[in-house]
Amino acid sequence: MRSGYTQMMTKYSAQQSALSNRPKWVGVRDSSAMPPDPLTVTNVSQLKTLQDAGEIEATHSDTQTSEEWLKTHSVDSLQLNLKNLMDKSKAVRPSTNPATGQLQQHIQFEAADINDFEYRLNKTIEMYTKRIKWLLQGSRRVFGLIKRSRVGVLIDVSDANCGFGRLTHFQEALMHLVDEQMAEMKSMYLVAFGSDLSPLWANSMDINCRTLAQAKDWVTQLQAGGGCNLLKALEHMYKRKDIDNVIVVIGCIPDQTCQFLCDYMAQLGVGQERPIHTVAYDCCNHHTHVTLRTLAEQSGGRYQCYDSASEEQIYSSSDISLLLREVQKAQIIINKIIGMRQGLLGTALVSVTNEINNEVAKLPQSRFLPRPPGHDLPLKINMPNYYPTSSGNWLGKHGLKAKGLDLYQVLSPNAYSYKEEFIPVIRKTVQSVVNEKAMAQFKWHDGSIRNIHVDMSQLFEYQKQLGATVKLYEQRLDWLSSGSRKIFGSVKEKSVLILIDVSMSNLSYLIHIQHSVRLLLEQQVANKDYFNMIAFSSSVKSWKPTLVPPTPENLQEAWRWVLDLHCEGSRNFLTALRAAMENEEERNHGIDVEGVYLFTSGVPDQPVELCVSYLEEQCAGSDQRLHVILFNVDDYDVHGAIPSRYANITKTAESLRALAHCTAGRFHWFRETGIIESDDIALLSQEVDKAINFSKKCAMLVDSVKKKYNLQLVERKEKEKEGELVMRPASFRPSSAIRRDDDDSTGGSHRPQSAKDPMQRIRRPKREFFYTEQKNGVGAVFKKYPTQKSTRKGIRFATIQEKEDQITSKEWLRMYSLSKLKLDLNKLVSGPDCRHVGQAVKTLHKVVEARTCSVFPTINVAGTLKHLQLLPHELTDYEDQITRILRRYLKRLQWLLSGSRKTFGTVVEKKCVFLIDTSGSMDPFLQDFKKELASLVWDQLYKYSVSFNLVRFSKNCEQWRPQLAESTEENCHDAVRWISALVANGNTCTLQALELAFKDPTVEAIYLLTDGKPDTSTSLVLSEVASLNTDRHVTINTISFNCDDSTANNFLVTLAHENGGRFHRCHANFDAPLFAHTLLTEGFTDHEYPQLPEFGGDDLKRLADEIATARRFISQSRSYR
């Protein structure tokens, strides 16, 4: 017993010793441990849920391809297909079709199920649309979504892809790819391939800041390198084991065929799961798209297409096409639901919907519309503390004329008319020159030129008053654009009646109408003497039988009446107007309606002419005014209520404006975003514009005076340097060289030199007198001696402004021709004609030759022998002048041959119709012609604000717009889209196109763009156009596009010249720009080389003739020296 106990104690001691000697416990590190799955932390058995979710990996949608994303978001996976819809139905006993006598299957749906199913489908389509937009952003638009973590990129650097200016845009796209998507990869391997391969690195590199910088630097150094050896590039990429996804970016057709590439890659990729992501970069070749699509599908990859010229091509990409297919599938199911609601799949659904509609019809219409806060609360009436008035009456007291701030009122005391009179003594027309001595010239409001004495302090004070007045106008504009005045304008009459349009077309805007009337009652009606309201649709409903005072009780009662209004019927405006203006009870009480305010959103049921006639008759001899407020609503829904008389918003505004103005009322047009048109605001805006114009004219006057003073100061300093008594040498020329340059002079015979200046003999030196110290003695100091007027005129310094004017060459040369610039060499070099014959002298008994024949050299000028009157240095000055002018002519020629002017000439009119020939003969040039037309729209029409219209004619005629449209940015974009859709076919119906253009009464000029003769007789076209244009005087300009038929060109020349227009001809191969460039760079050493090209157009031909004349004058001047 004791021995057993001893053994037990010994064993226990050994166990305690072992426990005390064991190693210490080490804590578990959980920093890198995976968190437990949420589905496992539960006491409920979730085995089946875990098994179902095991195959689905939770991944962010931004890293999923469309195929992966649609596994959980497709129509089928969301249980929104047609089978799921039919599962919600109930089979009902079949019924017999009364038309056929056969049994018809009857299916019944719950309305709630159908509405919920349709809502989910629409939300799904919205989800697909958002993902498509996401795929079209950033680098995904060009290269698609890059998948996998280790990628190899093959970049096409062939001549076809990197040439023709494409390299810069290609490099920018690649830089965006590296920044946006490559930075998210684990590793990448970049290879550029053309005829040969050029990898960036020897191995695949991990992504970090350094490798990304190297990649972007490598992209910027890419250069074109021969062909497109795609086979060699793919073979190189498939040999690498450190990549799992291959991206191929190609911009041209590969060197190998599609079949060869696909067969080779099928063999090379056996046993490898390495998809190829192909990208067609800005390539329009069909074979390239087929090859890349086949490679992607064969390898299990995806295909991406990007074409900057065609936006539709990008929707053929793999990711986007899958989404579009799901959108189409969802839309088909929605169409099925619409068919069900129309009873196409049974009648039960219709009966359920009708029961619901009957319950809804019992509720007020405004119950279902959004309403502002406190809409149903009583009015918060504010008594106006101002005297209401229209802008016309307000400007009568505060306008520029009323305040004496009209610029012509301010300047009239110091304004003097320009005078020009004939002096019989000197037989010349003398013009007043006081404007150059002490005044500035200014164009008066009647078009005349007056000389203004400029008072700088007066103009400064005037500018300050103008600024203060403009601020006052801006304050009133802000006031008119706030509160109920933004909706109704300023209600100025003391007794007013409000007509409210509650037709069915305003059903969606009933709350807005009620809120607008609420603002009017709160802010502008409380200070009136009387008021009333009439609501009209097909019938007329009046609040009170007569006008009543606007007491707080009446205003609250009127507001409650407005809240009970509902929309129905059409717009019986004339009945409402008669109820407002022919109220016998009001006349018996001696109450007259002064102002009727019509609040409507469309045209009346009655014709506008009938309404205008009634208003003019009713308001004749009275002070009644109709003011129209047009509420701009969105266009009517074709499935909703259509008014009895429909007009677009422009026609509606024109009709209602006529109603208001026929009674001297005001027109106000607004929408939720603000005021569109208001007579009150228009008057103020005109006054502000007038003030700004006056301010600009003041600034011009001040600048002209400053320039004059600066010039006088410079001249005074120069004279001080030369000395007061030093006379400038004067150059003389023989009296025989004197000619009359003044076109207005009427002197007939030659006068002697002494008769030229009758005041010359009595001129005296200018003196300054002073008193001496000897009694009344007077002394004098000579200040300036009179200068002898030169009888010889030098070469005039001619200048032409550098800015090009948008005018015809005829008008331009009328200002800047050699004759107008006084540079006609034939007139400069010669004086009076010499007969070069001897005369018998009786005392000497012989014939003596004229002395001038031996003194002056003789030259042939236009077939007449004359004496040269210019000295060598004057000829040199003349050559410098005309060389400078000739260079300016050549710059003008280059400008006429640049942009759209090369094809269409210069568009100088402001309201034009362009007739575009799209017959079958235009087909070879149609694409180039479209580009030139687009250039014309932006280069000239948009830039110079030309109102225009386009008409296409071939076998028939088609207009872009029914009338002329302003050249806004939106209209120009629409015109370019219309031009891009033109197709060439059919005949050439020129006469019908011209007749269509003449139907527009506002057109000023017609531009006929064609490549040949019309189908009808040319004489018939000329005679018909002459009869159409007899009273219109519309300018017809013709443009010959790549036409070498002399008969057709002669017809176009005749058509243009007979109608006051210009002819322009566009050649396919034209070397005029080369001619101008050669002359500007090589100079004018030879007047025959380079030879001037032959111009067919009027503008170019006139300018070319002047250039040829200038070159000939340079050659003659050199020969005279």
Burial degree of 989 (CB within 10 A; 0-12, 13-18, 19+): buried
For 707, 713, 976, the CA distances from 718, given in Å and listed in that order, are 17, 9, 60
In this prediction, residue 235 carries a pLDDT of 81
In this prediction, residue 749 carries a pLDDT of 39
**Cα separation, 986 vs 451, whole angstroms:** 63
Which of the listed ranges 33-47, 405-419, 973-987 does the model predict with the highest average pLDDT?
A: 973-987
The more confident residue out of 342 and 392 is 392
pLDDT-derived band at 1078 (thresholds 50, 70, 90) equals low
Cβ atoms 924, 959 nearer than 8 A: no
Query: What would the mean pLDDT of 295-308 be, rounded to a whole number?
Result: 83
**Cα-atom radius of gyration of the chain, to the nearest Å?**
45
Query: What would the mean pLDDT of 591-602 be, rounded to a whole number?
Result: 89
Reply yes or no on whether the pLDDT at 82 is more than 60.
Answer: yes
Contacts of 909 (CB under 8 A, 6+ apart): 946, 1004, 1005, 1035
Residue in this structure with the two tokens 């030139």, named with its chain if needed: 932
Query: What would the mean pLDDT of 257-278 be, rounded to a whole number?
Result: 77
Reply yes or no on whether the pLDDT at 1101 is more than 70.
Answer: yes
Locate 420 and state its tokens: 């020009």
pLDDT-derived band at 347 (thresholds 50, 70, 90) equals very low
Among 25-34, 901-910, 981-990, 1006-1015, which is the least confidently predicted range? 25-34
**Cα separation, 785 vs 383, whole angstroms:** 82
In this prediction, residue 856 carries a pLDDT of 65
Average pLDDT, the chain: 78
In this prediction, residue 531 carries a pLDDT of 92
**Cα separation, 127 vs 70, whole angstroms:** 11
pLDDT-derived band at 599 (thresholds 50, 70, 90) equals very high
Helix (H, G, I), strand (E, B) or coil at 770: strand
CA nearest 879: which of 832, 830, 828, 833? Answer: 828
Percent of the chain beyond pLDDT 70?
A: 74
Among 187-191, 473-477, 740-744, 781-785, which is the least confidently predicted range? 740-744
Instruction: List % helix, strand, coil for the chain (3-state, nearest 5).
Output: 45, 15, 40
Q: Give kind and range of the element (H or E) at residue 5.
A: helix 2-20
**Cα separation, 1059 vs 1036, whole angstroms:** 6
Reply yes or no on whether the pLDDT at 239 is more than 60.
Answer: yes
Which of the listed ranges 370-379, 403-412, 1003-1012 does the model predict with the highest average pLDDT?
A: 1003-1012
CA nearest 185: which of 250, 285, 277, 307? Answer: 277
The more confident residue out of 472 and 428 is 472
Other beta carbons within 10 Å of 742 = 9
In this prediction, residue 348 carries a pLDDT of 42
Cβ atoms 929, 1041 nearer than 8 A: yes
Query: What would the mean pLDDT of 69-91 be, rounded to a whole number?
Result: 79
Locate 865 and state its tokens: 């022998």
pLDDT-derived band at 551 (thresholds 50, 70, 90) equals very high
Dihedral over Cα of 933, 938, 943, 948: its sign: positive
pLDDT-derived band at 1049 (thresholds 50, 70, 90) equals confident
- Residue 860 has phi, psi (to 5 degrees) of -100, 115
pLDDT digits (tens, 9 = 90+) for 241-250: 778 888 888 8
**Cα separation, 521 vs 558, whole angstroms:** 9
**Cα separation, 828 vs 853, whole angstroms:** 19
pLDDT-derived band at 1086 (thresholds 50, 70, 90) equals low
CA nearest 926: which of 1009, 860, 983, 876? Answer: 983
Reply yes or no on whether the pLDDT at 501 is more than 80.
Answer: yes
Upstream peptide bond of 1090 is cis (omega within 30 degrees of 0): yes
In this prediction, residue 1033 carries a pLDDT of 86
Q: How far is CA 148 from the centre of its chain?
A: 45
Number of C-alpha atoms within 13 angstroms, CB side, residue 698?
A: 25
H runs (alpha helix) in 239-285? 258-268
**Cα separation, 499 vs 598, whole angstroms:** 5
For 677, 929, 947, the CA distances from 969, given in Å and listed in that order, are 21, 21, 12
Which of the listed ranges 203-207, 399-403, 593-597 does the model predict with the highest average pLDDT?
A: 593-597
Query: What would the mean pLDDT of 313-320 be, rounded to a whole number?
Result: 84
**Cα separation, 932 vs 901, whole angstroms:** 9
**Cα separation, 418 vs 420, whole angstroms:** 7
For 1005, 1026, 1095, the CA distances from 1054, given in Å and listed in that order, are 16, 11, 17
Query: What would the mean pLDDT of 266-276 be, rounded to a whole number?
Result: 74
**What global pTM score does this model have?**
0.39
Query: What would the mean pLDDT of 366-388 be, rounded to a whole number?
Result: 77
For 365, 370, 377, 482, 1078, the CA distances from 373, given in Å and listed in that order, are 18, 10, 9, 19, 76
Q: How far is CA 1066 from the centre of its chain?
A: 27
pLDDT-derived band at 741 (thresholds 50, 70, 90) equals very low
**Cα separation, 666 vs 687, whole angstroms:** 18
